[in-house]
């Protein structure tokens, strides 16, 4: 992959489709998300954010996202506005690739341990969930599973097993050392199989479903003056249990773990409880949703480790194997503790 998502030639061609002035520079190092690729560009009229969609998306999936973004903006929810091209289209197609242009919203990163940041994150998620209760569209968008090994938490019992792909990847990465690390992957897979059995008994009909964000985590939020300035990237939005958003937010914001420090501390659970308190100020969870949450956190932990194994950079895979299993075991062994702490 080249250093930049867009070559100067390609960027120049795309810019001509929009009434935003001539291209001056491709400013930022291009980041690559799990599903799409991005770049920040500058013209003589300012900065803009350009996205190249993952080829797995079709036009109807993207139209779903556009309708959702328009709905949120109509209700004054902070998210970047889509900029139409000269013909009024919000999607530009070039050589079977889809491109979108967004307004650029400046903002800082999430500060782990910042009470104002976490409080704003929880309240913003609650407001999003309240708003989308009234969102409707005729477009059906399935959940995208190319990035995460499976998102539809409550259908794991009948869903595909991701570990066949993981075992193949481990053979490729470790080569002759594969047989030494294989028992670790087998143990992680065993945790997944046990989870599948538990998920069969989840009363999914008692869980509130709405259009979740699907990827509500630090990299997709911008902050200014201690508050959320914008929520970005609705690529993973789809109709799903709202608790999937809540569990991922707890893991991403209250815990904010990395492979370098994948250890659960008492302060993590305290932050998770405070996050739930702030969320529930305006968006109360049902008793059954609270009962389901510890299992969903275990599901999210297994999903995070499986993601590192299946899609993470090869240099990070040994660390994922080393610390991932204790991380999963902690959630398995402390379901009662998690339940008691989160209920306060």
Structural domain includes residue 278: yes
The per-residue pLDDT for range 1-30, each reduced to its tens digit, is 334 456 666 777 788 889 999 888 887 654
User: Which 8-state DSSP code applies to residue 75?
Assistant: T
Q: Is residue 334 packed enough to be buried (19+ CB in 10 Å), middle (13-18) or exposed (0-12)? A: middle
Task: Count up the domains in the chain and report the number.
Answer: 2
Residue 76: Cβ within 10 Å count? 7
> Domain end: 103, 123, 140, which one?
103
- Regarding whether 240 and 325 lie in a shared domain, the answer is yes
Distance CA 284, CA 295 (A): 19
- Regarding whether 267 and 229 lie in a shared domain, the answer is yes
Please provide the average confidence, as pLDDT, over all residues in the chain.
85
- Regarding whether 247 and 227 lie in a shared domain, the answer is yes
Pair 147, 34: CB distance under 8 Å? yes
Pair 19, 87: CB distance under 8 Å? no
Residue-by-residue DSSP string for 204-228: GGGS-EEEE-S--SGGGEEEETTEE
Pair 298, 161: CB distance under 8 Å? no
Distance CA 238, CA 256 (A): 24
Distance CA 51, CA 221 (A): 16
Range of the domain at 82: 8-103
Residue-by-residue DSSP string for 161-189: PTHHHHHHHHHHHHGGGHHHHHHHHHHHH
Residue 52 pLDDT: 87
Closest of 297, 311, 289 to residue 257, by C-alpha: 297
Residue 2 pLDDT: 38
Q: Is residue 256 packed enough to be buried (19+ CB in 10 Å), middle (13-18) or exposed (0-12)? A: middle
* 3-class secondary structure, 133: coil
Structure tokens belonging to residue 325: 């299993």
Structural domain includes residue 329: yes
Whole-angstrom CA distances from 184 to 169, 187, 298 are: 14, 5, 18
The rounded Cα 74 to chain-centroid distance in angstroms is 23
pLDDT tens, per residue, the chain with 344 residues: 334 456 666 777 788 889 999 888 887 654 545 567 788 889 999 999 988 887 778 889 999 999 999 999 999 999 999 999 999 999 998 878 899 999 999 999 999 889 999 999 999 999 999 999 999 999 888 765 433 334 444 444 445 567 888 999 999 999 999 999 999 999 999 998 888 888 888 888 899 999 999 999 999 999 999 999 999 999 989 998 999 999 999 988 988 666 556 667 778 889 999 999 999 999 999 999 999 999 988 888 888 888 888 888 898 899 888 888 888 988 888 889 888 888 76
Structural domain includes residue 130: yes
Closest of 229, 259, 272, 273 to residue 325, by C-alpha: 259
Strands (E), the chain: 23-26, 37-43, 46-52, 92-94, 97-103, 209-212, 221-224, 227-231, 238-241
- Regarding whether 313 and 165 lie in a shared domain, the answer is yes
- Regarding whether 336 and 195 lie in a shared domain, the answer is yes
- Regarding whether 291 and 142 lie in a shared domain, the answer is yes
Q: Give every CB contact of residue 74 below 8 A, 6+ residues apart in sequence.
A: none
Structural domain includes residue 259: yes
Structural domain includes residue 121: yes
Structural domain includes residue 108: no
The per-residue pLDDT for range 247-302, each reduced to its tens digit, is 999 988 988 666 556 667 778 889 999 999 999 999 999 999 999 999 988 888 88
């Amino acid at each position: 992959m080249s250093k930049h998502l867009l070559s100067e030639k390609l960027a120049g061609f795309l810019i001509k489709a929009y009434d935003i002035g001539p291209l001056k520079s491709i400013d930022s190092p291009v980041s690559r998300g799990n599903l799409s690729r991005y770049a920040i560009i500058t013209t003589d009229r300012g900065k803009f954010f350009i996205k190249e969609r993952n080829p797995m998306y079709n036009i109807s999936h993207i139209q779903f996202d556009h309708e959702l973004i328009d709905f949120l903006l109509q209700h004054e929810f902070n998210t970047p506005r889509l900029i139409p091209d000269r013909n009024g289209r919000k999607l530009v197609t070039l050589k079977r690739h889809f491109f979108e242009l967004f307004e650029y919203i400046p903002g800082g990163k999430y500060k782990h341990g910042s009470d104002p940041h976490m409080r704003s994150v929880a309240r913003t998620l609650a407001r999003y969930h309240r708003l989308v209760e009234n969102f409707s569209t005729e477009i059906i968008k399935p959940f995208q599973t190319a990035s995460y090994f499976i998102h539809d938490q409550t259908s794991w019992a009948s869903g595909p097993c991701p570990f066949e792909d993981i075992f193949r990847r481990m053979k490729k990465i470790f080569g002759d050392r594969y047989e030494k690390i294989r028992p670790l992957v087998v143990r992680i897979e065993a945790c997944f199989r046990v989870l599948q059995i538990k998920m069969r008994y989840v009363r999914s009909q008692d869980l509130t479903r709405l259009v979740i964000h699907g990827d509500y985590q630090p990299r997709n939020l911008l902050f200014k003056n201690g508050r959320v300035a914008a929520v970005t990237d609705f690529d993973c939005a789809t109709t799903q249990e709202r608790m999937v958003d809540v569990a991922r937010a707890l893991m991403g914001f209250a815990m904010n773990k990395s492979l370098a420090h994948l250890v659960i501390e008492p302060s993590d659970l305290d932050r998770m409880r405070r996050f739930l308190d702030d969320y529930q100020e305006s968006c109360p969870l049902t008793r059954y949703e609270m009962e389901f949450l510890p299992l969903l956190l275990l599901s999210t932990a297994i999903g995070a480790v499986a993601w590192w194994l299946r899609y993470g950079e090869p240099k990070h895979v040994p660390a994922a194997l080393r610390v991932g299993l204790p991380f999963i075991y902690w959630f398995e062994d402390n379901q009662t503790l998690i339940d008691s702490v989160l209920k306060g």
